[in-house]
Amino acid sequence: MGHPFPLREIARQAGLSEATVDRVLNGRGGVRESTAREVHRAIADLDRQRTQVRLVGRTFMVDIVVRAPERFTTAVRAALEAELPALHPAVVRSRFHFRETGPVAEQVATLDRIARRGSQGVILKAPDVPEITAAVGRLIAAGIPVVTLVTDLPASGRLAYVGIDNRAAGATAAYLTGQWLGDRPGNVLTSLSSGFFRNEEEREMGFRSVMRARHPQRTLVETAEGQGLDATQYDLVRAALERDPEIRAVYSIGGGNNATLRAFADLGRECAVFVAHDLDHDNTRLLREHRLSAVLHHDLRHDLREACHEVMRHHGALPPAGPVLPSAIQVVTPYNMPTTTAG
């Protein structure tokens, strides 16, 4: 694999020793396949970021640790890399640690590896559980600031949270769902990927509060732990539809929307209103096809720019600023889609 990067730069990007990288690049063997993939991934990351690497300025190595479906992590990577040139004269280099699922212990191990080897900052999307909170504490003790992305860890001592006001987003979804259902009868399915992500819990609370106040006659039917993955989401939604023949609408908090729509179709059921989150590549396509009513979207590029600025402020590279304000919640329909989306 040809590349123009010094060995030490690849090693730094991959978080591995120069000797290990050398063994991989020269095919000497004795290296696990997963380690070899990390080296090649590091070279690919450097190649995408090469315009940023050439800039003159202070360099910050930032680790992006996210547990989410591939459609979301792809959007995170693209948003951050699109923002990198705008951060000059500072140079922000990024290492990505993405997982769709897996035990909390795996994400804790990733955070602890970062604490041992060092980083200028961590941008983190993780479940709000004691093990993660403790791992964030170890990063902070090692002098590494942590910024939470999309979902918060308020008890962790993190530097800042970037993202929307999730309770307000849930309330907005309830308002739209109630308006569009109008006087038609029907219950509403709320779908979470996991009960351990604070953002999903807050969205559900905002949604439930407004529905209870404005539409108390409607029953809310919850599904959870589908991890936002189509393979697991389908069975959960189909079982809910079979139990409750009155479900007519969906508020998808955690994703897996292809599977949800397929479950409705396979049972010959109409989904009259479907409100989802994020213009990832799946939701962009579904919205264009008019299979979603609306997507509650926020600008990931703005969020990641703010996260990088917070890391830079922590290190004194930018002047202090006030608290990070929540990102704007955009209500996107098939008729006002942004000109550039993840689709």
Share of the chain above pLDDT 70, in %: 95
Query: What pLDDT does residue 16 have?
Result: 84
Length of the chain: 343
Q: What is the mean pLDDT of residues 197-207?
A: 96
Q: Based on the domain organization, do 196 and 213 belong to the same domain?
A: yes
Contact 192, 200 (CB under 8 A): yes
Query: What pLDDT does residue 53 have?
Result: 47
Q: Vertex 235, ends 229 and 236: CA angle to 5°?
A: 80
CATH number at residue 129: 3.40.50.2300
φ/ψ (deg, to 5) at 281: -65, -35
Nearest to 218 by CA among 175, 238, 247, 240: 247
Residue pLDDT, tens place only, 253-284: 998 999 999 999 999 999 999 999 999 889 99
Q: Fill in the DSSP letter of residue 307.
A: H
Beta-bridge mates of residue 62: 94, 121
- Pairing type for strands 91-99 and 59-67 reads parallel
- Examine residue 212 and state whether it is found in any structural domain, yes or no: yes
Query: What pLDDT does residue 298 have?
Result: 92
Beta-bridge mates of residue 223: 191
Annotate 293-315 with b (16+ C-beta within 10 A) or e (fewer). Answer: bbbbbbbbbebbbbbbbbbbbbe
Tokens standing for 11?
């090693």
φ/ψ (deg, to 5) at 121: 180, 155
Q: What is the mean pLDDT of residues 216-235?
A: 90
Annotate 8-21 with b (16+ C-beta within 10 A) or e (fewer). Answer: ebbbbbbbbeeebb
The amino acid occupying position 143 is G
Sorting pLDDT into bands at 50, 70 and 90, what band is 215? very high
Least confident of 23-32, 187-196, 252-261, 323-332: 23-32
Q: Based on the domain organization, do 175 and 252 belong to the same domain?
A: yes
Residue pLDDT, tens place only, 90-119: 788 889 999 988 899 999 999 999 999 999
Does residue 321 register a pLDDT over 50? yes
Query: What pLDDT does residue 265 have?
Result: 97
Q: Based on the domain organization, do 209 and 138 belong to the same domain?
A: no
Query: What pLDDT does residue 55 have?
Result: 38
Residue pLDDT, tens place only, 130-158: 999 999 999 999 999 999 999 999 999 99
Does residue 343 register a pLDDT over 50? no
- Structural Rg of the chain based on CA atoms: 21
Sorting pLDDT into bands at 50, 70 and 90, what band is 4? low
Q: Based on the domain organization, do 99 and 120 belong to the same domain?
A: yes
Q: Based on the domain organization, do 63 and 171 belong to the same domain?
A: no
Helix, strand, coil shares, percent, the chain, to 5? 45, 15, 35
Q: Based on the domain organization, do 101 and 152 belong to the same domain?
A: yes
Contact 327, 303 (CB under 8 A): yes
Q: Based on the domain organization, do 88 and 129 belong to the same domain?
A: yes
CATH number at residue 39: 1.10.260
* 25 compared with 52, residue with greater pLDDT: 25
Q: Based on the domain organization, do 273 and 211 belong to the same domain?
A: yes
Q: Based on the domain organization, do 188 and 274 belong to the same domain?
A: yes
CA distances from 136 to 109, 143, 156, 210, 285 (A): 11, 11, 6, 34, 36
Sorting pLDDT into bands at 50, 70 and 90, what band is 3? low
Q: Based on the domain organization, do 71 and 192 belong to the same domain?
A: no
Question: What is the number of structural domains in the chain?
Answer: 3
Q: Fill in the DSSP letter of residue 164.
A: B
- Examine residue 197 and state whether it is found in any structural domain, yes or no: yes
- Examine residue 48 and state whether it is found in any structural domain, yes or no: yes
Which residues span the domain enclosing 110? 59-162+300-325
The residues, ordered by sequence, that sit 6+ positions from 53 with a Cβ below 8 Å of its Cβ are: 9, 46, 91, 93
Average pLDDT, the chain: 90
Contact 59, 95 (CB under 8 A): no
Annotate 25-63 with b (16+ C-beta within 10 A) or e (fewer). Answer: beeeeebeeeebebbeebbebbeebeebeeeeeeebbbb
Share of the chain above pLDDT 90, in %: 67
Q: Based on the domain organization, do 308 and 188 belong to the same domain?
A: no
- Examine residue 338 and state whether it is found in any structural domain, yes or no: no
Query: What pLDDT does residue 342 have?
Result: 46
Beta-bridge mates of residue 226: none
Residue pLDDT, tens place only, 36-69: 888 888 888 777 766 544 434 578 999 999 999 8
- Examine residue 313 and state whether it is found in any structural domain, yes or no: yes
Q: Based on the domain organization, do 197 and 284 belong to the same domain?
A: yes
